[in-house]
Amino acid sequence: MSKRIEAKKIKTGALILVTSTFLAAPSRAADDVSLLKDLTAVIALLGLPCGQVVKATRLKDNDHLATCKDKNRYRVFMNSEGRVVAQRQ
């Protein structure tokens, strides 16, 4: 194998590594703030006491444990019928 092809493979591998790193965790802080706001809105629309979600833990896809400012905790998930549900924990 020529040195030129070898160098190209190394550059391609490095590019893939860097790109996947940025795509894997793009702006975590912005995503977290957005998720907290979305969970706050969902809980409020369901008429449950919360005030503001201050912490969210991802359990699975579309399944989070939300901790509210007033210490209430809810599991917010999508049920088998495609509806968003919040269960007090």
Q: Please report, for the chain, the start and end positions of each structural domain, with discontinuous segments joined by +.
A: 27-88
- β-sheet bridge partners, residue 76: 64, 86
Q: With a cut of 70, say whether residue 71 has pLDDT above it.
A: yes
Q: What pLDDT is stored for residue 19 in this prediction?
A: 39
* CA 22 to mean position of chain CA atoms: 15
- β-sheet bridge partners, residue 56: 66
Q: What pLDDT is stored for residue 28 in this prediction?
A: 56
To the question of pTM greater than 0.75 for the whole model, the response is no
Structural tokens at position 34: 């957005």
State mean pLDDT over 22-49: 78
State mean pLDDT over 25-38: 72
Strands 73-78 and 84-88, by their bridges, are antiparallel
Q: What pLDDT is stored for residue 6 in this prediction?
A: 52
State mean pLDDT over 12-29: 44
